[in-house]
Amino acid sequence: MKIQPFIATDRLTIKPLTVNDYIFILELVNTEGWIQFIGNRNITSDNDATAYIQKILANQNIVYWVVSLKISDEAIGIITFIKRDYLEHPDIGFAFLPAYTKKGYAFEATNAVFNYLIEDQKLTHILATTIPENIRSISLLKKLGLAFEKEMEVEKQKLHIYGTPTANIKSYR
């Protein structure tokens, strides 16, 4: 499933994760929001971040894109696309640095990736998972056109699964 195009929107560039992104990843995975809603990955050094990225890049079921501002090329977030063993369809996710939330960047970037996956990869269904307490993530998923499908427990963690046939996804373009 190694899908890794370069995608651009009006304000953003979205490009595949590389080991050169280790400083950004170190910062992102240690934000309060990441730890609260995604989980502590125990990445505390440049070497840890590099190893984490290498593990991602080696897994054929995981794709990460780094979202950067076009104007400055500053990395502000990520979009993930993962085929998880416990889900029938691939799962899209997102995480942004706190300074770049509530500015529409997550919607813009995630929707651009959705469009790529629908138009170029011809996907017919995309899922997203979140914990029930992540109200902001749920709001964004609904804005993207995804609807609650089911609740499940994975590794003693309650997850809400959202999804949609791709025909229902709102186009950013």
Binned average pLDDT, 10 residues per bin, the chain of 173 residues: 77 96 97 90 96 95 95 96 91 95 95 84 85 93 91 91 70 44
Q: Is the distance from CB of 77 to CB of 105 less than 8 angstroms?
A: yes
Q: Pick from 52, 55, 54, 70: which is nearest to 15 by CA?
A: 70
pLDDT at residue 39 in the model: 86
Count CA atoms within 13 Å of residue 168 on its CB side.
14
Domains of the chain by start residue, with CATH:
7-122 (3.40.630.30)
pLDDT at residue 164 in the model: 77
pLDDT at residue 118 in the model: 79
